Structure 1
Amino acid sequence: MFTDVFVTPFADYEFMRRALVGSLALALSGAPLGVFLILRRMSLAGDALSHAILPGAAVGYLVAGLSLPAMTFGGLFAGLVVALAAGAASRFTTLREDASLAAFYLVSLALGVTLVSLRGSNVDLLHVLFGSVVGLDDAALLLLVGVSTLTLILLAVFYRALVLDTLDPLFLRQTSAFGEFTPFLFLALVVLNLVAGFHALGTLMAVGVMMLPAAAARLWTRDLAIALPLAAAIGALCCYGGLVFSNETSAPTGPAIILAAGVVYLFSMIFGRAGGVLRLKRPRRHLEG
């Protein structure tokens, strides 16, 4: 019975193995980025950017149909343009960055849905919005694994700079040549992972595998060196659990993965040792941190 539920679907069906590899790739690179987004107080920025890629993906769809390269480059271009435009608006106007991002992402979402609807069917619109993790082909799988590998390598190489830019950006700018470069690198990695994730989970769900495991990990530890791999592990577990649940119940795969992450987050919110409800309600001993 145990193997029938948790092992047999992945052993017998190639599409389940593809879905598992693709979603694991997303979790391993996206969840650590989510930890940095939380520390930077940019959690909603990830959601905004995930919607911002939709017009570019829609233009790629209008030009070449459901073409992986066209939709990928279109989404990447649109995400970077919206991120830079929102940053410029917050710098040269009285609007804060969160307000600028909210405005741009709402316009982007509406524009993207309109563009897809002009030429495609409701099925195409659903594919763009919610993805199809069980329908990943070789090209999409290679894209997901490639983005994940590149992200993990860059996180390792620029780890110290990213931490300093998150905790004390002014100090980094004064002491390192990477001070001005690091924020743009981080933003580019976020957009790149969202663009890759949209092929599997769609523009509405891709940010979930980035933010929910990261939020859960932060409720268990305040140590960044532990939070990053913990978030990746939680994300991987949720992807596997969501695929199993979807296979057993015929629930949509993408939402099932995000619901699994939501369950882990709710559990962490109650029992988390570094910030859960029970932890905060327990009386602390003298001098206890």
Structure 2
Amino acid sequence: MSGLYDLLLGPFIEFAFMQRALLGAVLLSISACPVGVFLMLRRMSLTGDAMAHAILPGAAAGFLLFGLEIVPMTLGGLVAGVVVAIAAGSVSRLTVQKEDASMAAFYLISLALGVLIVSMRGSNVDLMHVLFGTVLALNNEALTLIGGITVLTLASLAVFWRGLVAECLDPLFLRSVSRLGPPVHFVFLGLVVLNLVGGFQALGTLLAVGLMMLPATAARFWTVRLEWMCVLAVAIGIASCVSGLLLSYHASLPSGPAIILSAGMIYVVSIVAGTRGVLATRIQHHSHRTA
């Protein structure tokens, strides 16, 4: 019994830094995973990755001016993310270029610029902190920020739920019957940026999108109902965070990559064993052929 306690409960009960890491990761899962579901259903999964890198120059500028301070880096990342989202959207609407291409262009520029800015002042350790985060070093200020983002995200999803669902299913229909189409789109992009900024505190710019997208893509192999998909994505996200933190603690591994790899393992299992996964599809196909 004591072995089970030491393996599963002890790290979270005995160490305050593990408690803060778990709280921050759980809050991020509750907030970011439903946003990831909508990103996936809108076929914008790679947009989330691009936006994660888009916040890097702003966060790097905050680091250049104030060091590893949460508020300046967060505000800088938020401004940079909003600017890139608006710029990419504007380019796609005013030119012949599609939004994914313009987003990719801005993402590459942002990534290079952000790394350059961090390198101007910081060391390789600082660059690793910005790129991969430090979930085990979350303080009360970071937890307050992540908690605020979680509350704002859940409130926005509750208010704009029907509009978000309608835009996922048929954005042209929504625009034809309502003027909510463009506002809902930009509100949604704002939620993506907010959650990536929150995830940046814990997982860095390179891994923040992982907690947003991997649980969402795994959940789709288990259910077709949107509400349950969001709930299941949150559950998978929390399970990934718990298992990743425990793996990080016991095996002395970097916590951020351990969390994302845990989510990746659940994704692989879901592909194979999910109710809409490979095995279920093959069994169903075989039963239809023999019927």
Please give the residue correspondences for 1:157-176 in structure 2 after superposition, counting only pairs within 5 Å: 157-176=159-178
> Which amino acid in the other structure matches residue 282 of structure 2?
K
Q: Deviations over 1:131-164 (max 9, x none)?
A: 0000001100111111011111111121111101
Q: Deviations over 1:199-230 (max 9, x none)?
A: 11000010000000000001111111110111
Using the TM superposition, name which of 147-156 and 241-250 deviates more. Answer: 147-156
Q: Which residue of the partner structure matches residue 246 of structure 1?
A: 248
Please give the residue correspondences for 1:26-37 in structure 2 after superposition, counting only pairs within 5 Å: 26-37=28-39
User: How far apart, CA to CA, are the structure 1 residues paired with 2:106 and 2:152?
Assistant: 28
Q: Which residue of the partner structure matches residue 224 of structure 1?
A: 226
Q: Which residue of the partner structure matches residue 128 of structure 1?
A: 130
User: Offset at 1:76?
Assistant: 0.6
> Which amino acid in the other structure matches residue 232 of structure 2?
L
Q: Which residue of the partner structure matches residue 256 of structure 1?
A: 258
> Which amino acid in the other structure matches residue 116 of structure 2?
T
Extract unaligned runs of 5+ from structure 2: none
> Which amino acid in the other structure matches residue 44 of structure 2?
M
Are positions 1:119 and 2:121 aligned together?
yes
> Which amino acid in the other structure matches residue 273 of structure 2?
F
> Which amino acid in the other structure matches residue 32 of structure 2?
G
Extract unaligned runs of 5+ from structure 1: none
User: How far apart, CA to CA, are the structure 2 residues paired with 1:50 and 1:109?
Assistant: 9
Q: Which residue of the partner structure matches residue 281 of structure 2?
A: 280
- Bigger helix fraction: 2
Calculate the aligned-residue CA RMSD, in Å.
1.3
User: Offset at 1:10?
Assistant: 0.6
User: How far apart, CA to CA, are the structure 1 residues paired with 2:75 and 2:244?
Assistant: 29
User: Offset at 1:175?
Assistant: 3.2
> Which amino acid in the other structure matches residue 183 of structure 1?
H
User: How far apart, CA to CA, are the structure 1 residues paired with 2:150 and 2:191?
Assistant: 10
Q: Which residue of the partner structure matches residue 48 of structure 2?
A: 46
**Residues 96 and 177 of structure 1: CA distance in aligned 2, closer, same or farther (over 3 Å):** closer
Give the TM-score, by structure 2 length: 0.95
Please give the residue correspondences for 1:38-187 in structure 2 after superposition, counting only pairs within 5 Å: 38-187=40-189
User: Offset at 1:179?
Assistant: 2.6
> Which amino acid in the other structure matches residue 283 of structure 2?
R
Identical columns (%): 58
User: Offset at 1:282?
Assistant: 2.0
User: How far apart, CA to CA, are the structure 2 residues paired with 1:151 and 1:84?
Assistant: 19
> Which amino acid in the other structure matches residue 191 of structure 2?
L
User: Offset at 1:68?
Assistant: 1.1
> Which amino acid in the other structure matches residue 94 of structure 1?
V
User: Offset at 1:21?
Assistant: 0.3
> Which amino acid in the other structure matches residue 222 of structure 1?
V
User: How far apart, CA to CA, are the structure 2 residues paired with 1:137 and 1:283?
Assistant: 50
User: Offset at 1:80?
Assistant: 1.0
Q: Which residue of the partner structure matches residue 267 of structure 1?
A: 269
Runs of 4+ in 1 over 3 A off after TM superposition: 174-177, 283-286
User: Offset at 1:246?
Assistant: 0.6
> Which amino acid in the other structure matches residue 279 of structure 2?
L
User: Offset at 1:177?
Assistant: 4.2
Residue from 7, 18, 21 that aligns with 2:20 = 18
User: Offset at 1:92?
Assistant: 2.4
Give SS of 2:182's match: coil
Q: Which residue of the partner structure matches residue 215 of structure 1?
A: 217
> Which amino acid in the other structure matches residue 267 of structure 2?
Y
User: Offset at 1:169?
Assistant: 1.8
User: How far apart, CA to CA, are the structure 2 residues paired with 1:165 and 1:12?
Assistant: 46
Q: Which residue of the partner structure matches residue 189 of structure 1?
A: 191
> Which amino acid in the other structure matches residue 70 of structure 1?
P
Give the TM-score, by structure 1 length: 0.96
Using the TM superposition, name which of 209-218 and 88-97 deviates more. Answer: 88-97
User: Offset at 1:66?
Assistant: 1.1
User: How far apart, CA to CA, are the structure 2 residues paired with 1:199 and 1:261?
Assistant: 19
User: How far apart, CA to CA, are the structure 1 residues paired with 2:171 and 2:96?
Assistant: 22
